[in-house]
Structure 1
Amino acid sequence: MAIKGRADLHTHTTASDGLQRPADNVAMAKLRGLAAIAITDHDTVDGIKEAMEAGERLGITVVPGVEISTVADGIDIHILGYYINWENAAWREKLKQLLTLRDQRNDMIIHKLNALGMAITKEEVIEEAARQGKESGSIGRPHIAAVLLAKAYVGSMQEAFDRYLGQDGLAYANPPRLHPFEALEWIREAGGTSVIAHPGIYHNDELVRTIIERGAQGIEVHHSDHSEADKERYLKLAEGYGLIVTGGSDFHGERQGIVFHGEIGSSTVDAVVLDRLDPARRTGV
């Protein structure tokens, strides 16, 4: 039976670079009247168990997910995976490889920041992540940005990304990483459904089409950083390829009064889409 209501299918927690615990995300979804929420942390599934337990208590459907970090043509591309077999040991071992690559990238960024005269260490970044409630999982650029802010090298999180950590920043680093095609295969092998995250951010629709034609099953049309023109363009693309249309806030939490990227529930889709995202429902298993 289809779930009735709205679903936010893209949120992050303290398992990666979010500021709220998984159970907090679920509670916020309940407060906002949502029927379902997905936990899609970067390169880790460590937050899913806690979220699912909270979902059982609160009557909210929790979709197990992940956001895999990949690179193609020098561009960071994120691939969302839904309903993967997240407890599978082989799957978790693969994700550990991604966390190792993420650690290497963090080391490269910190080295560049040091060369620019900013004295920060990896240990300080880890300590900052712990202060934000992080116990395990992946450490990302927001944690580095928080250290830059705490040491007054920047005046805001936004400045940290604009000047140093974003794709055009002075300390940006992008070591060899998983290719989107590989991520699609990983998700398929894990029994999940693959969706291209926030395609409007990449400014490369030709590359997006290539990933679709390689086997992506869905596309995130509705996203906090998408304009109305973006949504219209990707909706047409989805219709043309017969893709699953998803959407989510990409909630990370609030820093300095600014919510990255949107509040939970600010970008949603009809929860009926879960019937297409969940392979078990599609096959009637």
Structure 2
Amino acid sequence: MNKRADLHTHTRASDGTCEPQENVRLAQEAGLAAVAITDHDTVAGIPEALKAAQRGESAAAVEVIPGVEVSSVARGQDIHVLGYFVPYEDEAFHEKLRGLRETRHERNKLMVARLQELGIPITLEGVYRRKTGEDKNIGRPHIAEELIELGAVKSIDEAFAVYLGKEGKAYVNPPRISPQEAITLIKEAGGVAVLAHPGLYDDDELVKELIVFGLDGIEVWHPDNMREQRELYQRWAEENGLVMTGGSDFHGWRGEEPFHAMLGSHTAPYDAVERIREIAKKRKQASFG
């Protein structure tokens, strides 16, 4: 049996549009053996996803991998590092993630100010009304939604191409932790550090630097990795003994279309989960040794 896992999905805990239990249901419907909840700089969606998986029928049971996607910056652009089997109930780990979210908030303020300078009547209050609760984990997709509502753009893609992407008119990147620091944060917490969507960065020298620094794995199968890139990252993973992971980067729906891709459309073999679990187990044992 060819068991598969989608190891990169987002929920409403960050910038996805689905509740965590919906991600679990979609994973079941896709026939997956496992799904990772990897929200940006938060683990708030994991408990509900685990409860949903426990409620599922045994014949369609889906394993939920507790994860996070840590935001960092290198050479002027966002670099994301996925962490798997992180201590999602540990308050010290929560506190570290809280600091990353505060940096995200500062970035949102700078982007909104830049958009206002460009003549767009956007406000921070208008963006933040899209999330309820004290932990408002707001990101660029929420700003994009507000731009659509204001008539400044017609789609999420246009919002990123014109304003919010790394070549956009309103793109800003305040000081953040480096990807090396993100890797260290994840590994010191007992998790497993995997570089997310390396094909997006257009900087394979950086990818090689991070491999040497201590990555545990590379996200080979991702909707934004082209075929040649997948082949390259697969070869580097094999040469360096790294785990090869894959995921859809599912963020729910923007209109009628799934964003980035439909959950289950990009996956890794289940043995990637087993390798990740073993690395995390050894790391935790070493920390208590």
Tell me which interval the TM-score lies in, with the shorter structure as reference length.
over 0.9
Which residue pairs with 1:199 in the alignment? 198
CA separation in 2, counterparts of 1:255 and 1:283?
38
User: What's the RMSD between the two structures over aligned residues?
Assistant: 1.7
Q: Is the 8 A contact 2:192 2:280 kept in 1?
A: no
* Number of residue-to-residue matches in the alignment: 280
Which residue pairs with 1:215 in the alignment? 214
CA separation in 2, counterparts of 1:280 and 1:41?
19
Which residue pairs with 1:142 in the alignment? 141
CA separation in 2, counterparts of 1:102 and 1:225?
23
CA separation in 2, counterparts of 1:237 and 1:274?
19
Which residue pairs with 2:241 in the alignment? 242
* SS of corresponding position for 2:144: helix
Deviations 1:226-284 (A, max 9, x none): 12111111100101111000000000011122321110000011112212111355579
Which residue pairs with 1:231 in the alignment? 230
Deviation, 1:174, is: 0.4
CA separation in 2, counterparts of 1:125 and 1:241?
43
Structure 1: tracts of 5 or more residues without a match: none
CA separation in 2, counterparts of 1:269 and 1:244?
10
Alignment partner for residue 74 of structure 2, among 65, 72, 75? 72
CA separation in 1, counterparts of 2:194 and 2:49?
21
Report the TM-score when normalising by structure 1: 0.94
Q: Is the 8 A contact 2:73 2:177 kept in 1?
A: yes
CA separation in 2, counterparts of 1:204 and 1:244?
20
Report the TM-score when normalising by structure 2: 0.93
Alignment partner for residue 110 of structure 1, among 104, 109, 112? 112
Which residue pairs with 2:172 in the alignment? 173
Deviation, 1:120, is: 1.1
Once the two structures are aligned, what percentage of the paired residues are identical? 49
Deviation, 1:136, is: 3.7
Alpha-carbon distance change, 284 to 201 in structure 1, aligned in 2, over 3 angstroms: closer
Over 4 Å off, 4+ runs: 280-285
Alignment partner for residue 24 of structure 2, among 23, 26, 31? 26
Structure 2: tracts of 5 or more residues without a match: none
Q: Is the 8 A contact 2:200 2:224 kept in 1?
A: yes
CA separation in 2, counterparts of 1:195 and 1:284?
17
